[in-house]
Amino acid sequence: MEDLISQTLAIHVPPPPPGAALEPTTLERRELRPDDVRIDIAYAGICHSDIHQAKEEWGSAIFPMVPGHEIAGVVSEVGSGVTTHEVGDRVGVGCMVDSCGECEYCRAGTEQFCLRGNVQTYNGVGFDGENTYGGYSQQVVVKDHFVCRIPEGIGLDVAAPLLCAGITTYSPLNRWNAGPGKKVAVVGLGGLGHVAVRIAVAMGAEVTVLSQSLKKQEDGLRLGAEDYYATSDESTFTTLRSSFDLILNTVSSEIPVDSYLAMLRVGGAMVNVGAPSAPLSYSAFSLIGGNKVLTGSMIGGLPETQEMLDFCAEHGIGAEVETISADQVNTAYERVQNSDVRYRFVIDTATIGQQ
Ligand code: NAP
Ligand code: ZN
């Protein structure tokens, strides 16, 4: 009986070659430790990071791989020592499932920078030596500290992407003071980008979308942006010279960084969250010429993730999702790679194993 309880259906990328099609599988989840929470997953978002890893674009990965670090579901069981979550709670899990809890970064609530290395939700190895498997699955067991509350008022489907896309954009927008009087450009209107627009608008900033084309202009404006420009049009870069206090780059491929830095005002900052496999380059003069900042940002810690979920609930922000069944996941991967996502795919995990 115990074995049955811990068995769950999932979708995995089979062992090499990388980039193989995803297919259904069965997975064992561990029995609960005192500080564990078992979650019945309802929806799992498809982040471009899943694709980077499934295709080994960031280096060698662990296969079979069950991707998924945008997890939303309902608590089905809690360990004996868990006080923060109860059976029936609506909860979410993002990119991490463990960290040392003791180093300066963990103590500061920035577990993503744990000195022992945070344990990734999938394509990682836990401190127990076991491989981790992510959210494209019907069930997951996660240490309580890494489980967030999803406030009432946000549907689980539109909340799931907030666990990565939401926190990855909220954190730098917050840190670099997106707000009233600030002009913010969001580069790339995909999963991260469209959530970034909504969050930056809710923070009070004046938002411009910089997309490859004007195809999604209507959507960008509906999401709250005031302006929308195509980066395929060279005149965009001259029109917008010295315009922005903050540029948030969410693009999954390399972009010409110098051209973007030229659109910053003096003292402005460009934050890179996009994670292409090839290096980005820039000229030192692009920064020197205006005391500009070029920086990066990695997801966000657990306290800030909860803060982001509460902020999104308060402002009625969810992701705009296309809900798919498990057998559509390979097509969804293709579409994400072709910038044909409107604007996040979420897998209805109830459909796993039905095809
Ligand atoms: P996504 O949904 O595919 O969106 C990326 C967008 O970038 C596309 O929709 C497209 O927007 C634009 N784009 C794609 N290829 C481009 C190209 N060659 N030139 C210019 N623009 C291009 O991906 P995502 O899930 O939002 O993730 C975006 C990136 O962030 C990925 O690299 C992912 O790994 C990374 N990421 C980083 C963190 C972190 O902690 N830093 C966390 C999560 C994800 P337009 O069609 O509007 O141009
Ligand atoms: Zn992600």
The model's pLDDT over 329-339, given as tens digits with 9 standing for 90+, comes to: 999 999 999 99
Name the nearest CA neighbour of 141 among 73, 48, 230, 220: 73
Whose tokens are 């390399």? That residue is 254
Question: DSSP secondary structure string, 280-298?
Answer: P---HHHHHTTT-EEEE--
- Atom 30 of ligand 1: nearest residue by CA position: 274
* Reported pTM: 0.97
Would you say residue 2 has pLDDT above 70? no
Pocket of ligand 1 (CB under 6 A): 47-49, 52, 164, 168, 188-193, 211-212, 216, 250-253, 255, 273-276, 297-299, 336, 339, 341
Per-residue pLDDT, 119: 98
Residue 95 confidence (pLDDT) above 90: yes
Identify the three-state secondary structure at position 183. Answer: strand
Cα gap 63→76, rounded to integer Å: 28
Q: Which atom of ligand 1 is nearest to 299's Cα?
A: 40
Closest protein CA for atom 23 of ligand 1: 48
Instruction: Assess whether the previous peptide bond of 64 is cis (omega < 30° from 0).
Output: yes
Task: For residues 14 and 54, give the distance between their C-alpha atoms in angstroms, rounded to a whole number.
Answer: 9
Q: 56 pLDDT exceeds 90?
A: yes
pLDDT of residue 1: 37
- Is the pLDDT reported for residue 40 higher than 80? yes
Identify whether 133 is preceded by a cis peptide bond (ω within 30 of 0). no
CA distances from 266 to 152, 172, 204, 241, 342 (A): 42, 19, 21, 11, 34
Out of 208, 251, 305, give the residue to mutate to test ligand 1, the one with the largest number of ligand atoms within 8 Å of its CB: 251
* Secondary element (H or E) of residue 335: helix 329-337
